[in-house]
Structure 1
């Protein structure tokens, strides 16, 4: 498991220093947190954020998939609903990690 570091901008700014995406990534989540994903590859990459729990009908809550196109930088809100009650973090998976970098920011 890889805990994605959090950068908090100050009035002077901050170096985001995106790191390589990895299997088993986890991140802090909740109000003000966002995942920045840069896809330097030649095709889109699917980012999936696990959504723990079940619906009122007892069915597993569906995970949140996001497709990041090739060559783009995306900001994805890390909502409170993604927080795993056991780890207190969001679990993030990738369809590919080659040429994909990420960082978490908190505003």
Structure 2
């Protein structure tokens, strides 16, 4: 797994430093962290963030599946509920496509 390291803006901001999306992406979670997804392709993609755990009835908690339109930059909160104990307490992120898709993480 490849952790996407967070950038933290100072008073003058910070370059987002987006890099190519890849299989096995992970990121630390937190109330002030967000995943930046830039879809540079001509088609929409989906970003899936796994939600670990079970419901009260024993069913898997549904994953969060987010559609990112073509040519869209989307900001997705990295909520603490995404912290997967089997992935070093990080969010596990999967992509429907990675061609022309870049990503980064910011912490405010």
TM value normalised by structure 2: 0.97
Query: Secondary structure, in 3 states, of the residue corresponding to 2:81?
Result: helix
How well do the aligned residues superpose, as a CA RMSD in angstroms? 0.6
Confirm or deny that 1:57 pairs with 2:57: yes
Partner of 1:15: 15
Could you tell which deviates more after superposition, 65-74 or 3-12?
A: 3-12
* Mapping for residues 28-107 of structure 1, pairs under 5 Å: 28-86=28-86, 87-107=88-108
* Structure 1 moving runs of 4+ over 2 Å: none
Q: CA deviation at 1:85?
A: 1.6
Q: Structure 1 CA distance, aligned partners of 2:9 and 2:49?
A: 24
TM value normalised by structure 1: 0.97
Q: CA deviation at 1:71?
A: 0.3
Q: Structure 1 CA distance, aligned partners of 2:105 and 2:33?
A: 7
